[in-house]
Structure 1
Amino acid sequence: MNKRIQILSFLFLGFSQIAFSQIKEEKLILDKKREPEVKKIEKKKTSVESIKNYPPEEKSANPVTYDITNVPAVSDFKTSTIQGEDISPEFKEDYQDNYVRFGMGNYGKILSDAHISTVLESKMEVGADFHFLSTNGLKDDYNWNSKQSGATLGAFLNSYSDKGKLNVEANFGLQDYNYYGIYALQPDSNVDLKQKTNQFQVNAFYDFYSNDILNDARLQTSFLNDHFDAKENQGAITVNLSKYDLFQNDNFKLNTDLGVKLETLQTDFSLLNQNSSNFFNASLTPQISFYKDNSYLKIGANVNFLNRTNESLILLEYQKSEVLWSPKVEILFAPQDEFKFYAGVDGGLKLNSYAELLKENPFLVSDIQLRPTHTKYHGYVGLKGDFDQTIKYDFSAGYSKINQMLFFQANDIFDQQFTLNRSAYNFANTYSAVYDNGNVSEVKGSVQVFPLENLDLGAELLVQKYQLQDLDEVFNKPLFQTTLTANYSMLDKKLNFGFKGIFITDRTSNSFEINPNSTLSPTSYVSTENRNTKVGGYADLNLSAEYKIHKNFSIFALGNNLLNTKYQTFNGYKVLGAQITGGVKITF
């Protein structure tokens, strides 16, 4: 009977290619041993998990024992922009945390990654990891170079003392690619379309096991420059203060928290208008929490003291200091684990950095105006729960009022001279940031199902509707996006399969049609903008398989974009078609 179930499960995984989902780096993180919270959490491979176990008294228990958390021997590196998405099965049992992996595939793809760590005395762990991926691009689709490569090298330290745990990580990332998505002007094959970014980051996190006031502290830094001499420095210090169990009686308790954050962002561009910006933000997040059994009421606020300076060749120095306030209230009623009703309102301030925007759209011109986005309020209601550690779900609907929402808008050519001897960003193919105020309505859901011990299924859904104040169209934002995932193991976990489907509906973009200006001057161009260009939706199906031949040796195969659709992430920028990659992995 068990064999039949395994066979049926495997067949289900194979036929699940009809599912669709979105491209996102965020993953559905659900640990069956933890409180059933269905959330999107950004994964940091070289970091000790910094999410606290609540209720808070678990943290202050004495004595407290922390074990070294191994890192799965599976790469989670970011893939090339035109590749689609690389996936690998991830299983948290019976892995070894030291590995080296190498693979090759079509489109000249080469991938290599490794993770090495060791535990020293006093439970101190040190290690390093390396990730590299390159492709030759779309030689048959573009006459010019669309080759891309990316590499990340990092080192980390995890220290566990009697008073707390410390995590420090430093990494250097390099992205080398081209503005290959030309659709307005046709460059020669030898035109230099190069863009290159370097980013160095140092992050540290200290979590106090038992401290009456000081809860944890965090340091984040980032230093970035690109091929066109843009420079950006970013830093933040966050300290969380807390006083728990101020009052406790008959399963009722009162907790207080105060978050203090200081952050700075300085960006300078050297091209075109030479925009520069300087931000300093001090934020306070006080909160009072009332707990009754598994239900709670949290009342707080998010207060930001923002000082900003913007300047460019066409804009005189603009300075502004302001205090921005957003509410932070949430109530959760949990009569049982299967059904937990919640509602709340929150908001906050987000400093938009060049480094973060490049992760979403690497085809930005190296001269954009940066503004902070302020969510005045975000109201939401939802239902979540856990059915016997077998089904975990979270569904919610929300409505937000946001100032300075950021969208990506395509650029025209920056000069009208009749020549193709242009800089890489000057073929009407790059993007800039555009901002608008408005409202956003959303519906989202997350589900993860564990029908068998060796099978887990996941799904995420996000529907967003924008109402903007000035822009007539919502640029490069889909109405509907969803993600379906599956992981399956068999043969005593020697054979692992993974699936990820991607589906995104149509988006709207602006675009330019550029022609010689024969009427006025034979040595110039004239451009016409279309502000309702449709960028088609897409389905991207991905499969992976790994077979462990020996406890220290395995082979793997990855299949990306198996529908072989060269869809566009942004107008004019196609991704690679179907890709098959195979390789070996050595663990030790």
Structure 2
Amino acid sequence: MKFVLMLICSICLVPLAMAQDLEIEEDGEVQTGEIIIEKDRKIVLPQARKLYEKVNSPEYEIEAATFPGEFKIFNYSPATQLPTLRAAQPKLEGTQDDVYNHYVKVGFGNYSSPMLVADMNLITNQSRIFRLNLDHLSFGKGAKDGKNSGSAYTNAGINGKIIGESITFSTGVNYSITNDYFYGYQPGLEVDRSDIKHKYDFINALVGIEDNDQDNLVDYSLSVSYESVKDNYAASESGVEIGAGFNYAKTIFIDNEAILTKYKQTSFDLSRSFFRINPYYRIEAGEATIDAGFSFTAISGGVETFGSSTIFPFARASYSISEQVNLFANLDGGMSFNSYADYARENPYLMDDLAVLSSRINYDFKAGAAIKPAQQFALTAYVQLQSIKNMGYYQNMLPDTTTFEVAYIPGNTSVVEFGSKMQFDINSDNQIGLNAAILSYSSKDVTDFYNLPTSRVELIGNHKIMDKLSIGWQFNLLGGIKGLASNGLTTGNETTTSMSAITEFNLNLDYQINDRIGAFLRFDNILNKNYERFYNYPMRGLQVKAGVSFRF
């Protein structure tokens, strides 16, 4: 409760102007000509955090070249393998009758895999934007014991944004269901499919408001989000997250975050909370920009062995050597709040009575350079150094390795990451993007960091071959992963095994038959490897899907 009071006090710095009525354009007609649903108008609900990842303030980077297709950081989903390639839809110019705001894509593939993508956009004018989306992908069977390794994912959401002269109001509701099976059992073991089913229900809701009056000296934002997750056993978690931001004359900044959750399992019921306030002052001198302040974080309700609050210096700096080269550096630290929802999204094979603990970031330092030698090319390279207490990783349970626990390292773990990001618009019809990183982990407490990759590469491209034909491709690499092996009968015989690197190549062909109808052919995992993201869980080989798309 004290954390909530602290947040309320800090939010009081947000001006009362937030209570103003929205001033909306009265013109309710859709204008003729080109209508584009910009990506930044889409409501994005809170995303899952990684096991050791805290929410960092964005570093200064030169803006990358515009990438028209979907360019997502590779975050491999073993449960659903959702398509990450979606060809950019051509822009249509002309009269009102030529504009299509709705898009439906249906298809079917091997492994008995139907798919559906539907986006319905309602634009009453440029100030009112509403979107309804529905996605489904399922596999009737997988790489092991047929239906026992099937999976399904369904997501439905509605969101909207109302843009006024002074403030912007955003809202969204999202519901998703995942169905998976604990098929990581020992070969030859007979199981009942109904006994190994694992289902998750996720609900997200978000309401946000932000100032968009460029003439005001004061800028502010406030968001409230709700999230709940429940499985078909006894696990459930629900929580509320409140975020607020404030700045005066782009010189004095205050960022706030508070999280309250209720986590239930078979043998316990736990209430947890997290609070963070990050005030800082910005100094601009020539080509240099420096932010200096502190981060105060606090947690309660958990069983962590370290202190309940921390205060750490916060610093962020950038320096423009030229119009093409920018150097940046960040320093931060504090508590990192982990939730059951975070883990459930990343690993669908979790054990009962899973321990959920927070981590402490002793320090988080990141430095690098952003280079943009031409309008069509942008490159960012960085190094990140972290020291984390109570860092978690996924480890197979023993002796039965079918399920996973989150093992926490009690001491400090050093994480070093070298990474780069690149986007290259060769021309308006050909674009290439790269996201790569090399990671290392070290700790006095453990020698093997199970299921954590040490290398990650995503290379993606979109090419328009002719007026109606587009090709998208993606190469993913995830390497250096180790698993904990056991005979599944007794403890004491477990061994560490190095898992084969995930090397995945996907290809997508889109052909626009006419303005309204298109056809697609998609190939996933062309190399046809039954790789494992989590030990004992082989993934599907070559997947082929074909279907049609409609715009109206």
Do both proteins adopt the same fold according to a TM-score greater than 0.5, normalized to the shorter chain? yes
Residue 286 in structure 1 maps to residue 290 in structure 2:
no
CA RMSD of aligned residues (A): 3.0
SS in 2 for 1:569: coil
Say which of 367, 392, 403 aligns to 1:406. 392
Which residue matches 1:431?
404
Say which of 65, 79, 84 aligns to 1:87. 84
Residue 237 in structure 1 maps to residue 242 in structure 2:
yes
Residue identity in the other structure for 2:231: D
CA displacement 1:178-224 (0-9 Å, x = unmatched): 11121377233556211101111101221201344351111121011
Report the Cα offset of residue 275 of structure 1. Answer: 4.1
Which residue matches 2:544?
580
Compared CA separation, residues 257 and 233, structure 1 to 2 (3 A): same
- Give me the whole-angstrom Cα distance separating, in 2, the residues matched to 1:44 and 1:573: 38
Which residue matches 1:512?
486
Which residue matches 1:223?
228
Compared CA separation, residues 173 and 264, structure 1 to 2 (3 A): same
Which residue matches 2:261?
265
Greater mean deviation of Cα atoms: 143-152 or 85-94: 85-94
Report the Cα offset of residue 237 of structure 1. Answer: 0.8
SS in 2 for 1:336: coil
SS in 1 for 2:141: coil
SS in 2 for 1:145: helix
**Contact residue 279 and residue 306 of structure 1 kept, 8 A:** yes
CA displacement 1:395-427 (0-9 Å, x = unmatched): 0112111111110011125xxxxxxxxxxxxx5
Residue identity in the other structure for 1:566: N
Compared CA separation, residues 237 and 48, structure 1 to 2 (3 A): closer
For 1:56-455, what aligned pairs fall within 5 Å after superposition? Answer: 81-82=78-79, 84-91=81-88, 94=91, 96-120=100-124, 123-138=127-142, 141-142=144-145, 145-183=148-186, 186-188=189-191, 192-210=195-213, 211-244=216-249, 255-270=251-266, 274-310=267-303, 322-413=308-399, 427-436=400-409, 437-455=412-430
SS in 1 for 2:529: coil
Say which of 429, 433, 441 aligns to 1:466. 441
**Contact residue 409 and residue 432 of structure 1 kept, 8 A:** yes
Report the Cα offset of residue 380 of structure 1. Answer: 2.5
Report the Cα offset of residue 143 of structure 1. Answer: 6.1
**Contact residue 390 and residue 450 of structure 1 kept, 8 A:** yes
Residue identity in the other structure for 1:268: K
CA displacement 1:49-87 (0-9 Å, x = unmatched): 9xx9999xxxxxxxxxxxxxxx999999x9973564523
Greater mean deviation of Cα atoms: 212-221 or 232-241: 212-221
Report the Cα offset of residue 47 of structure 1. Answer: 4.2
- Give me the whole-angstrom Cα distance separating, in 1, the residues matched to 2:452 and 2:194: 31
- Give me the whole-angstrom Cα distance separating, in 1, the residues matched to 2:203 and 2:270: 20
Say which of 480, 492, 499 aligns to 1:535. 499
Percentage of pairs with the same residue: 17
Q: TM-score, normalised by structure 2?
A: 0.82
Show structure 2 runs of 5+ residues with no match.
1-38, 47-56, 61-67, 93-99
CA displacement 1:370-405 (0-9 Å, x = unmatched): 111221211222111212212101101121111111
Q: TM-score, normalised by structure 1?
A: 0.77
Greater mean deviation of Cα atoms: 178-187 or 198-207: 178-187
**Contact residue 282 and residue 290 of structure 2 kept, 8 A:** yes
Say which of 472, 481, 491 aligns to 2:456. 481
Which residue matches 2:470?
496
- Give me the whole-angstrom Cα distance separating, in 1, the residues matched to 2:441 and 2:59: 35
The total of aligned residue pairs comes to 486
Show structure 1 runs of 5+ residues with no match.
1-41, 56-70, 246-254, 311-317, 414-426, 516-525
Residue identity in the other structure for 2:191: D
Residue identity in the other structure for 2:391: M
Report the Cα offset of residue 231 of structure 1. Answer: 1.4
- Give me the whole-angstrom Cα distance separating, in 2, the residues matched to 1:501 and 1:73: 14
Compared CA separation, residues 98 and 278, structure 1 to 2 (3 A): same
Residue identity in the other structure for 2:264: D
Greater mean deviation of Cα atoms: 379-388 or 117-126: 117-126
**Contact residue 235 and residue 264 of structure 2 kept, 8 A:** yes
